[in-house]
Chain A
Amino acid sequence: GQSLEQPSEVTAVEGAIVQINCTYQTSGFYGLSWYQQHDGGAPTFLSYNALDGLEETGRFSSFLSRSDSYGYLLLQELQMKDSASYFCAVRPNAGNNRKLIWGLGTSLAVNP
Chain B
Amino acid sequence: DQQVKQNSPSLSVQEGRISILNCDYTNSMFDYFLWYKKYPAEGPTFLISISSIKDKNEDGRFTVFLNKSAKHLSLHIVPSQPGDSAVYFCAASSPRGNAGNMLTFGGGTRLMVKP
The judgment on whether A and B are partners is no
Q: Which residues of A contact B (CB under 8 A)?
A: none
